[in-house]
Amino acid sequence: MGNRSIVGNLFILIFSFLTVGCSNQNSDVSSNDISLSTTTSQSTTCNEIKSGESKKDYKDLYKPVFEDYKKIFTTSKDSSAIANLYQKLNATERPINSWSVENAVFQSDKMSYAYADLNKDGVEELLIGVEQSNGDYFISGLYYLVNEKPLLLAEGFVAGHGGARNSMNIYKGGDILELSWSSGTGEGRGVLYHLNSNQQAASKVQEQDIRVPGNKSLHSDFGKTETELMNFKQLDWEKFDDSSSSTILGDKQRAPWNTSKSAKLEAFIKGWGERLGQPNYKKGISGGDVGADNLYTFGDGPSEKMNAEYTDTGLGNAKYRIVERYSNWDKYPDVHSYFFAITDTGEAIVFHSPTTNGGVMYLKPTENTEIQAEFKRLVEEE
């Protein structure tokens, strides 16, 4: 491909970002330009695809990575839940970018992984990919081993807002070019790494400013050519709900809360509130909702921050997974707010809060046995 063609494709890529916009829920990651794509028409050698027996060993070596992705895939699409999740991911020294986390949460059904010995040293690297509609894969994460411990080397993501973009080119022989730029200005930074043999840390070969689109091929800027790009379409891609994380699929099937239970609780709350002379309970905390990180215990002892998150399914990583919230702020200042939580051990707890000052809310288990019993019944309902 000539330089003129590459520049043209780059312009198309950036123009599409600016005119269409980006969403974490998009099914495809745009990668028209070959300099920003991790797929080509080159064939993959048989040495790059290892046997199933070998992969079992690498699943153990990359176990911290799989554990992080298990947390990601069992997190709801609630912004507070995603923010809380980011603080709990620590598989490698280089933390996964927050946009990578959000992209993965919203595209979990399209995420796969594969192994490839990129530098032909007998040790396989781990690739995390997002399947595209044409069968290609946008590489969102590249992990490698240093002394049998996984490290994150490069990422690919599209920011939901702000224009941040990240992509990588992976070349035959173990060279990886990570590109970071802004869709607004086109300015960014490129870093060329080389994977060393014998599980040694990767070397930084070259680093320089880039512009997308540029006036020449980004390959040649870093001493590379298009023909050196590897093709990942033919790798042995596997879904995360297979043997590496079968518990993820099981957790989704056993989600303790769903839309049917939510509707039943809403009907109960309506009748229950009317019997109490409080007929106007509404979903949410209408007087000023707060994030799950601003919930505190309230009771006899000192107040403590709760390990809580909001979720639609009852699945998550926090101790308290709050699935519903109701309040009657039309009765201000005699306000009652209820938080319906499922703990990490499966226990159903209804918390009550009299808080009206906003910012933070203080919760304690309700003393109303009727509402507690109904929520417990719904959680345990098949």
Q: What is the pLDDT of residues 82-112, one digit of tens each?
A: 888 877 887 678 989 989 998 998 888 889 9
Among 138-147, 241-250, 252-261, 264-273, name the one with the lowest average pLDDT. 241-250
pLDDT digits 0-9 by tens, 64-80: 999 999 989 888 877 77
Average pLDDT, the chain: 79
Please tell me whether the overall predicted TM-score, pTM, comes out greater than 0.75 for this model: no
Q: What are phi and psi of 355, to 5 degrees?
A: -65, 135
Q: What is the pLDDT of residue 289?
A: 60
Q: Is it the case that residue 287 has pLDDT exceeding 70?
A: no
Asked if 139 contacts 168 with a C-beta cutoff of 8 angstroms, the reply is yes
Q: Is it the case that residue 25 has pLDDT exceeding 60?
A: no
- Mean pLDDT value across residues 146-155: 94
pLDDT band for position 286 (50/70/90)?
low
Q: What is the DSSP letter of 229?
A: B
- Mean pLDDT value across residues 342-369: 87
* Distant-in-sequence contacts of 375-379, Cβ < 8 A, 24+ apart: 375/265, 375/340, 375/348, 375/350, 376/348, 378/261, 378/264, 378/265, 378/348, 379/256, 379/257, 379/261, 379/314, 379/342, 379/346, 379/348
Give the sheet arrangement for strand 203-211, strand by strand: 157-158, 164-171, 175-182, 187-194, 203-211
- Ramachandran region, residue 291 (left: φ > 0; alpha: ψ -120 to 50; beta: rest): beta
- Mean pLDDT value across residues 128-144: 89
Q: What is the pLDDT of residue 146?
A: 94
- Mean pLDDT value across residues 156-164: 86
Q: Where do we find the tokens 């080389």? A: 194
Q: Euclidean distance between the first and final Cα of the chain, in Å?
A: 58
- Mean pLDDT value across residues 272-290: 77
Amino acid at 148: E
pLDDT band for position 48 (50/70/90)?
very low
pLDDT digits 0-9 by tens, 200-239: 999 999 999 998 876 557 899 999 999 999 988 878 999 9
Helix (H), strand (E) at residue 207: strand 203-211
Among 24-33, 114-123, 208-217, name the one with the lowest average pLDDT. 24-33
Q: Which has more pLDDT, 42 or 219?
A: 219
